[in-house]
Structure 1
Amino acid sequence: MGSRTFDDAVLSRRALLRAGALLGAGAALGTLPFGRAALAHAGHWPSVMALADDYVSARKVANMVAVMGWQQREPDVIARGTLAIGQAVPAGLDSLYRIYSMTKPITGMATMMLIEDDKLGLDQPLAEILPAFADMQVQKTYDGSIAELEPAERPITIRHLLTHTAGLGYSIIQKGPIKAAYERAGVVPGRVTRLPLGAIFGRGEAAPSLKAFADNLARLPLVAQPGTRWSYSVSLDLLGRVIEVVSGKPFDAFLKERLFDPLGMTSTWFHVPASEVGRLTTNYGVVNGRPMPLDPARASIYLDPPAFPFGGAGLVSSPRDYDRFLQMLVGYGRLGGKRVMSEAAVRLGTSNLLPDGVSTAGTFADGSGFGAGGRVGLGEQAGTFGWGGAAGTVAFADLRRGLRAALFTQYMPAEAYPLHSAFPAAVTKDLAALAAAQT
């Protein structure tokens, strides 16, 4: 990375919580010539193993845990390294990772459950639930003046929120006065560190509750007309407020009751209990190609309760837990013999929900559609769904073939290393080799 600074190489605001192009390689599974018999015997992952060995042995990361599975079968697990560099405790299936934007598909599926319950409509106007979002104003120029505004031409809908097409902004994406306005209002994304790096992170203090977050957001102008542009945003955080209003329960309580408990996700939280700190990994910032402790486990900001549960980037989870979520998706709503979501809700949530005429071309979701909080494949790549996180994690499910795959490690920014694309590529390479061996 040469002489790039800590500011621009480690914590650039565009990199902070963005997910990489994770499905480009993973979705290429659709072109591989293997059949069901080959899939049933997949279990050897030399390319994935080499990827983990290379990164950990070179001390680029402290650890790497890869989890791959088929249908409802137990996963194959490749685990390398320790919870922190120089520490003795090995990383594994039950280690705890900050999954950041991999929270978004969970919030998306929670939203789909309320649509399934007929308590929400996919194209229902947001203002019917949160009246403050009626009569929104829009910047005439994206990231331009916040004084030169025009009325919204159509209402924000639940579909728009799920797909980042509501016209909402993100303080880690926007520039200029709208970015500053978001920070002043506490409309900021998830947490990173207790270290005094506020100026570098370019964020203000979070609003004190989801209600305050939503109310403050409603007073800010939109960055684009609703339903016209894919722009990464706080929309999944706002859906947390929608969920608690519609369900009558706190957002985190709804997730626990409807998803985490039924799925046996016993290690997924917005706030890591003190009793579990021995499983928490350390998060690193990559400085001139070297990892430096950014959020040490025993001093982690995730040991403090959050201002509110961030539905866009707030969860800590284990590889075992997230695999259970993916296993439910490839089971079209079932995990083992238990139905958690309807098949129709899963199929809809993992399909392309972008409004007509909206494209992801030129964005970091380029070449794909977008579903309920995650990227979806199109054409031959249809059936894939997933997203990545700011600290290097990445996960996807191929519902057509029953494959689920996830990679866990901890470094920022995610784009310091190409793992969001390298991991799906390694999975694809191993499956191609398996297919070739069986033809």
Structure 2
Amino acid sequence: MRTAYRLAATAVMALAATVAIGQAQRRPPMTVQGDPPKPASPPVAISGSTLLPATQALFDGYVRSAKMPGIVGAFGVGDLPTQFVTAGRQGLEPGQRAADADTLWRVYSMTKPVTGMAAMMLVEDGKMALDQPIADFLPAFRRMTVLTDPDGSLASRPAARPITIRHLLTHTAGLGYNIVTKGPLLKEYERLGILPGTVNVAVEAQARKVRPTSLQAFAARVATLPLIADPGTKWSYSIGLDLMGAVIEKASGMSFERFVQTRIFTPLKMNHSYWQVPRDRQAWLATNYTFVGDRLIPLDPAATSTFLDAPSFPYGGAGLVMSARDYDRFLHMLQNEGQLDGARVMKAETARLAMSNLLPQGVFFTGIGGGTGGTQAAALGFGAGGSVYLVDRPGGSGKGTYGWGGAAGTIAWVDRGRRMRGTVMVNYFPAERWPTRAEIPAALAKDAGRFTAR
């Protein structure tokens, strides 16, 4: 028994030392009869009420005080069993399932690390290189221009250098984003349907009137617009990972969604990760909410969710719906530097490179502030689709901790040095409505203290 407690204490203490670093973009943003079947051969899970009582109490408090209908956390250290902590239900509607490890959540920008790793697999395969121009795959990007009067017009000059794979992965390509871009360029993004994301049925109906219907058509329209800065000179949150999907198609010779399924989801047994939620899984889908004052208002009800329909194309920056169990498996693979349960999806050196600071020389990332769900922090870099800590933070994240978050409040991080990881799943806008990124690590620290006191 004492050995078991020491093992548990090691796990909890390691988790408590990691602060979730997920950053989130801000977007305005099924029923099956009978009990749901259990997934085949699920990994062993230890209840949060057994080993993580402070974290469980925090989650229970969130639900009891109506801050959220439900929440699921998946925390892991090494190859010890994943700790799933759950509270509440998938929605406020009558008859909703209890939120659990297999509930499906809109992860929005937590899609970006998945796309980033898919790109790094092609780098490993020798089918593209980090500093290779994307024009080698998408010729329309051969002659890009840069805005000279961003506040007043679309006037532009030739770009100083081409956009590369590295630039797309690290948001340094000079591309815009409808959630952060302003002025005349934003109007052009809206006019041309450069809107790679899904909110609900009503918003989607309007977006589809102008949005292109394939990744390649999307890329072709992006290539006609000026950049906000010369490639490789500035970090600016962007559609870079969405455009990367189009590059992956050309480099791999298969559709983007097929590549991700074949190279990541299937070998890692991520059986419930979707661009479109199948009808036989709709009972597991959570409702997404928005706040009106302190009231939770359904924004995308599960029963009629737009994620039950096929997207215009797979959004590499914000398109996936996933379970906490699946995202934990993705992070576990990264923690293990490219392999999980005997399946190797990338070389260890590729995984390490992907989670290292890939920013061009002289470019810095300092975080995303208020209105996005992100936080400001010192000594941050940026890897393939996610941020990276460049130094240890006393009492916090270790050097090399990699992660990102989602617009609807989800959080994910992996600290390879300490071999630990964390996923938190909720669904509400705005992501920063409650300080979960600070409160959850604090609760984990309390749990660590419980074990060390024995």
For normalisation by structure 2, the TM-score amounts to: 0.83
Aligned-residue offset at 1:255: 0.4
Structure 2 counterpart of 1:248: 253
Matched, 1:418 2:435: yes
Structure 1 Cα separation of the partners of residues 368 and 298 of structure 2: 30
TM-fit CA distance, 1:196: 5.2
Q: Contact 1:139 / 1:224 at 8 angstroms: preserved in 2?
A: yes
Relative to 1, partners in 2 of residues 1:183 and 1:329: Cα closer, same or farther, differing over 3 Å? same
Q: SS in structure 2 opposite 1:355?
A: coil
- Is 1:50 matched up with 2:62? no
Do structure 1's residue 374 and structure 2's residue 391 form an aligned pair?
A: no
Asked whether the equivalents of residues 25 and 407 of structure 2 are also in contact (C-alpha less than 8 Å), the reply is no
State how far apart, in whole Å, the 2-side matches of 1:91 and 1:231 are. Answer: 35
Any conservation in 1 of the 2:154–2:226 contact (CA below 8 Å)? no
The reply to whether residue 145 of structure 1 matches residue 162 of structure 2 is no
Structure 1 362/107 Cα, relative in aligned 2: closer, same or farther at 3 Å?
closer
Contact 2:144 2:158 in 1 (8 A): yes
Q: CA RMSD in A?
A: 2.3
Q: Report Cα offsets for 1:139-179 as digits up to 9, x if no partner.
A: 124x4234321211111111110000100000111111111
Tell me the amino acid that sits aligned with residue 435 of structure 2.
P
> In the alignment, residue 362 of structure 2 is paired with which amino acid?
G
- SS in structure 2 opposite 1:192? coil
For residues 47-86 of structure 1, the C-alpha deviation after alignment (integer angstroms, 9 at most, x for no partner) is 4223211211111111000110112232111111111114
Shift of 1:422: 3.3
**Equivalent residue for 2:3?**
none
**One-letter identity of the residue aligned with 1:70:** V
SS of 2:290's partner is: strand
- The answer to whether the aligner puts 1:323 opposite 2:334 as a matched pair is no
Q: Of 344, 350, 354, which residue of structure 1 is paired with 2:349?
A: 344
Whether the 8 Å contact between 2:212 and 2:218 is mirrored in structure 1 is yes
Structure 2 residue corresponding to 1:235, chosen from 230, 233, 240: 240
Among 377, 399, 422, the alignment partner of 2:416 is: 399
User: Do the aligned partners of residues 223 and 253 (structure 1) sit closer, same or farther apart at CA in structure 2, a change above 3 Å counting?
Assistant: same
Which of 255, 262, 266 is 1:257 aligned to? Answer: 262
Aligned partners of 1:360 and 1:366 also within 8 Å: no
Deviations 1:359-389 (A, max 9, x none): 1237446431110000111112322111000
Give yes or no for the alignment of 1:408 onto 2:425.
yes
Q: Distance in 2 between matches of 1:109 and 1:55?
A: 33
Query: Structure 1 residues 133, 427: CA separation in 2 closer, same or farther (over 3 Å shift)?
Result: farther
- Residue in 1 aligned with 2:300? 295
- Aligned partners of 1:160, 1:196: CA distance in 2, in Å? 30
Which one-letter code corresponds to 1:171 in the other structure?
N
Q: Contact 1:388/1:420 (CA < 8 Å) preserved in 2?
A: no
Quick one: which amino acid aligns to residue 373 of structure 1? G
- After superposition, residues 30-429 of structure 1 pair within 5 angstroms as 44-88=51-95, 89-141=97-149, 143-195=150-202, 205-361=210-366, 363-364=368-369, 366-367=377-378, 368-380=380-392, 381-428=398-445
* CA drift at 1:16: 1.5
Take 1:261 and 1:375, find their aligned partners in 2: how far apart are those partners?
26
**Contact 2:289/2:428 (CA < 8 Å) preserved in 1?**
yes
Residues 353 and 168 (structure 1 numbering): CA distance in 2 closer, same or farther, change over 3 Å? same
In structure 1, what is the equivalent of residue 26 of structure 2?
A: 15
Count matched residues.
399
Q: Give the CA deviation at 1:338.
A: 1.9
* Structure-2 separation of matches of 1:424 and 1:376: 18
Distance 1:198 1:172 in 2: 19
* Separation (CA, whole Å) in 1 of partners of 2:127 and 2:176: 26
SS of 1:170's partner is coil
**Which amino acid in the other structure matches residue 90 of structure 2?**
L
Separation in 2 of the partners of 1:153 and 1:324? 41
Check whether the contact 1:17–1:313 (CA below 8 A) recurs between aligned residues. Answer: no
TM-score using structure 1 length: 0.86
- Whether the 8 Å contact between 2:104 and 2:323 is mirrored in structure 1 is yes
**Which stretches of structure 1, 4 residues or longer, exceed 6 Å deviation after superposition?**
none
Could you say which residue in structure 2 is the equivalent of 1:40?
none
User: Deviation at 1:425?
Assistant: 4.3
Q: Which residue of 2 aligns with 1:35?
A: none
Letter in 2 for 1:374: G
How much has 1:426 moved relative to structure 2?
Answer: 3.6
Task: Indicate if the aligned counterparts of 1:171 and 1:203 stay in contact, CA closer than 8 A.
Answer: no
Assess, with a 3 A threshold, how the Cα gap between structure 1 residues 162 and 304 changes in structure 2: closer, same or farther.
same
When residues 206 and 48 of structure 1 are mapped into structure 2, their CA distance, relative to the original with a 3 A threshold, is farther
Contact 1:168 1:235 in 2 (8 A): yes
> What amino acid is the match of 1:357?
G
Mapped partners of 1:347, 1:225: distance in 2? 28
Distance in structure 2 (CA, Å) of the matches to 1:356 and 1:429: 40
Percent identity over the alignment?
Answer: 47
- 1:239 and 1:362, CA in 2 relative to 1: closer, same or farther beyond 3 A? closer
* Alignment check: 8 A CA contact 1:171 1:189 kept: no
Amino acid aligned to 1:413: P
Pair 1:14–1:178, CA change in 2 (3 A):
farther
- 8 A Cα contact 2:105 2:285, kept in partner: yes
Residues 96 and 140 of structure 1: CA distance in aligned 2, closer, same or farther (over 3 Å): same
- Give the superposition deviation at 1:436: 5.3
